């Protein structure tokens, strides 16, 4: 397994500062969501080369997947993101789904999503990039988000039928939505490209809530998973100290 931090882990600091901290802590990547906020993609690419750690995941433009009238906009956003990823050397792209449309049957919205992802798939396959659909909880953080459950998300991925369209499995969101975390986190492994972790309640660093991350990460590690696990969380204490505690209390027992 490889571990990443997310932009914002160090409040007010830019991507270069985050990358240097990631290198310092022995982690492996940075999730920088809105690539379009980077001032100079080529300059960031040079900094990645200098530091020896790079951006491991970014996002597509935030355009609804369930609104058929926005399909062309979504696909253009994918094209733009692929070009940014080419410059930055990024191979994982996260996509949210958008909110449920009032007055439109849910099955129709799901079919719209599947068809749009099918049209995006050849672009992603040609570029060698994996798009990761992300289910989010609607109870606390994202009311109305279309995809929330992991089983429905897996059904969407299976129907798209491309090795370059998978899921990011966010343990925090799925704990809130459905529980049954370890069984789903490893049962859907072949459809998952990477994981997000944070504790619940509060969405702070692992060890501050109810989730047993030693057991969760051991179960994922035991599958042979070699992808990224991203700390997508806030911090209750100084970020550097929180990361040191995470490495000592969670990673050390998991990695041995």
Q: What pLDDT digit, counting tens, does each position of 60-101 carry? A: 999 999 999 999 999 999 999 999 999 999 999 999 999 999
pLDDT value at position 165?
98
Q: Which two tokens stand for residue 44?
A: 């960031």
pLDDT value at position 170?
98
Instruction: Return the active site residues.
Output: 134, 232
The secondary element (H helix, E strand) that includes residue 74 is helix 71-88
Q: Identify which of 122, 125, 121, 145 has the alpha carbon closest to the alpha carbon of residue 135.
A: 145
Residue spans per domain, the chain: 2-255
pTM tops 0.85, yes or no: yes
Backbone torsions φ then ψ of 229, nearest 5 degrees: -120, 115
- CATH, domain range 2-255: 3.20.20.150
Query: pLDDT digit string (tens) for 40-49?
Result: 999 999 999 9
Q: What confidence tier does 256 reach under pLDDT thresholds 50, 70, 90?
A: confident
């Amino acid at each position: 397994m490889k571990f990443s931090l997310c932009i914002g882990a160090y409040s007010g600091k830019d991507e270069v500062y985050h990358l240097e901290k990631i290198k310092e802590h022995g982690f492996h990547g940075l999730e920088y969501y809105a690539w379009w906020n980077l001032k100079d993609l080529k300059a960031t690419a040079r900094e990645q080369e200098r530091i020896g750690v790079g951006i491991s995941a970014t996002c597509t433009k935030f355009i609804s997947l369930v609104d058929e009238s926005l399909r062309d906009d979504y696909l253009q956003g994918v094209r733009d993101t692929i070009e940014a990823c080419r410059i930055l050397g990024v191979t994982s792209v996260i996509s949210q789904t958008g909110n449920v449309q009032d007055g439109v049957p849910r099955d129709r919205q799901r079919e719209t999503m599947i068809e749009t992802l099918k049209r995006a798939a050849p672009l992603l396959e040609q570029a060698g990039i994996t798009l990761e659909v992300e289910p989010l909880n609607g109870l606390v953080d994202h009311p109305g988000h279309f995809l929330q459950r992991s089983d429905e998300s897996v059904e969407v991925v299976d129907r798209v039928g491309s090795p370059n369209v998978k899921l990011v499995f966010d343990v925090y969101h799925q704990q809130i939505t459905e529980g049954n975390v370890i069984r789903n986190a490893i049962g859907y492994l072949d459809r998952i490209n990477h994981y997000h972790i944070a504790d619940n309640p509060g969405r702070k660093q692992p060890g501050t809530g109810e989730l047993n991350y030693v057991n969760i990460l051991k179960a994922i590690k035991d599958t042979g998973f070699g992808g990224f696990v991203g700390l997508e969380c806030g911090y209750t204490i100084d970020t550097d100290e929180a990361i040191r505690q995470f490495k000592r209390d969670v990673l050390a027992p998991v990695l041995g």
